């Protein structure tokens, strides 16, 4: 591989949505900061929820697994400095957590979905290589308005939320957060935000 193939590209999370092809799965869509290519990565529902909770600024009643991992690392003075999606084999993305402890760099292999759930918790940058963008990136023709960051939630009863009063929605939001149903909570919050 040439040096160009190993050129590093910074990515950001553009959207989180249901995968059209696999109904139980979600797709997290990463976009390059200096370009218009997107990198869609299929992830499981649990990891999608772990990412959505942070993007939607929700506070779970109890720490989720990724919160626990962040708290454990932080307790031992380990910071995740960056995430790198470093390989793509047979359609599967591989990643590394680049950690730092007392000036020493430690690299830890990770599933990409877990790496992204930790990246949003540590507010650290996400990178990949040019050869991965070449192989799996897509160029989206989109208008400027659509390019803004968005978390997309699809749920059968989303329409129903519009018929609730704001008071009822706020009570329902509290209830679903207690039940730890973060996807439903995100949909209710979307409806509440529309009314502001």
Residue 70: pLDDT over 80: yes
Q: What whole-number distance in Å separates Cα of residue 102 and Cα of residue 96?
A: 19
Q: What percent of the chain has pLDDT over 70?
A: 84
- 8-state DSSP, 102: T
Query: What Rg value do the Cα atoms of the chain yield, rounded?
Result: 18
Instruction: For the sheet with 92-101, list strands across it.
Output: 104-111, 92-101, 78-89, 126-129, 8-18, 26-32, 37-43, 138-139
Instruction: Rank 4-18, 41-55, 91-105, 153-167 by mean pLDDT and report only the highest.
Output: 91-105
Q: What is the pLDDT of residues 23-39, one digit of tens each?
A: 667 889 999 998 889 99
Residue with tokens 């910071």: 79
- Tell me what pLDDT residue 154 has: 42
Q: What are the Cα distances from residue 143, in Å, to 16, 36, 37? A: 18, 11, 14
Residue 83: pLDDT over 60: yes
32 membership: H or E segment, kind and range: strand 26-32
* Least confident stretch, 1-10, 22-31, 172-181: 172-181
What would the mean pLDDT of 140-169 be, rounded to a whole number? 57
Beta partners for 93?
A: 88
- Tell me what pLDDT residue 185 has: 74
- Tell me what pLDDT residue 22 has: 57
């Amino acid at each position: 591989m040439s040096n160009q193939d190993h050129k590093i590209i910074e990515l950001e999370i553009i959207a989180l949505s249901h995968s059209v092809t696999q109904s139980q799965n979600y797709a997290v869509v990463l976009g390059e900061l200096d370009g218009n290519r997107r990198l869609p990565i299929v992830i499981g529902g649990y990891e999608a929820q772990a990412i959505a909770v942070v993007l939607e600024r929700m506070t779970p009643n109890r720490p989720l697994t990724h919160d626990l991992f962040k708290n454990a690392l932080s307790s031992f003075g380990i910071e995740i400095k960056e995430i790198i999606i470093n390989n793509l084999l047979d359609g599967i993305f591989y990643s590394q957590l680049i950690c730092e402890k007392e000036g020493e760099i430690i690299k830890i292999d990770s599933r990409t979905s877990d790496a992204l759930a930790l990246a949003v918790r540590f507010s650290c940058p996400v990178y990949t290589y040019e050869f991965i963008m070449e192989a799996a990136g897509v160029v989206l023709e989109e208008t400027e308005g659509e390019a803004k960051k968005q978390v997309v939630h699809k749920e059968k009863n989303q329409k129903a939320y519009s018929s609730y009063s704001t008071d009822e929605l706020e009570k329902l939001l509290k209830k679903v957060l207690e039940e730890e149903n973060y996807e439903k909570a995100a949909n209710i919050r979307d409806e509440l935000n529309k009314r502001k």
